């Protein structure tokens, strides 16, 4: 199901206009994105947990050129589904 189909189904079930459902979904995605950017966890109860994991800088070997490289520190988005999912 893509975003458009999700909005269509939400609008039908909730008896709202598609325009309003699109705005609500975009707002929710924006809030989760902003919270994740500031290292906050988002916990919609029953749905899951959105968070972030920090991967520290590490030294690896590039298999193509067989040389050591340094992989910089980065932050990766995480999602843990809730029990209902």
Spatial distance between the Cα atoms of 59 and 72, rounded to a whole number of angstroms = 9
CATH H-level superfamily of 40-85? IHF-like DNA-binding proteins (4.10.520.10)
Residue 52: pLDDT band (50, 70, 90) is confident
The residue that leads in pLDDT, 61 or 43, is 61
Whether 12 shows a pLDDT value over 90: the answer reads no
Q: What is the pLDDT of residue 78?
A: 87
Please tell me the predicted confidence (pLDDT) of residue 65.
Answer: 92
Helix extents (H) in the chain: 3-14, 18-37
pLDDT at residue 59 above 90? yes
């Amino acid at each position: 199901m893509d975003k458009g189909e999700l909005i269509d189904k939400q609008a039908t079930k909730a008896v709202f206009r598609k325009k309003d459902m699109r705005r609500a979904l975009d707002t929710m995605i924006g809030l989760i994105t902003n919270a994740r950017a500031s290292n906050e966890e988002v916990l919609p109860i029953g749905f899951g947990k959105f968070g972030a994991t920090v991967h520290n800088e590490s030294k690896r070997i590039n298999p193509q050129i067989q040389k050591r490289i340094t992989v910089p520190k980065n932050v990766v988005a995480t999602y843990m589904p809730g029990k209902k999912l």
